[in-house]
Amino acid sequence: MTFEEDLEYYQAHENELMKKYPNMFILIKDKAVHGSFSNFQDAHEKALELFGIDDVIITQMVEQKPLNVLSSVA
């Protein structure tokens, strides 16, 4: 699965994810949520544990999105 496919998954399910994980950081890889976290560092550590150095999406589910997106855990 590619990063672009994961991004499309996120965009298609953003409203649903917002309701399910309000104010949480979520980790997305292979069109699936692999956890929700109260802070970025925990999400990042889990990404490294599960996927090593690979492209993932870690984003905070808030109404107004930050301008930056992490696309790699390296």
State the pLDDT at residue 70: 57
Taking phi first (over 0 means left), then psi (-120 to 50 degrees means alpha), and beta for anything else, what does residue 11 get? alpha
**Do residues 57 and 47 lie in contact, with contact meaning Cβ atoms separated by under 8 Å?**
no
What whole-number distance in Å separates Cα of residue 53 and Cα of residue 2? 14
Q: Tens-of-pLDDT digits for all 74 residues of the chain?
A: 899 999 999 999 999 999 999 999 999 999 999 999 999 999 999 999 999 999 999 999 998 766 656 555 55
Q: SS3 of 55, please?
A: coil
What three-state secondary structure class fits 57? strand
Query: What is the structure's pLDDT at 63?
Result: 85
**Angle at Cα 33 formed by Cα 25 and Cα 11, nearest 5°?**
80
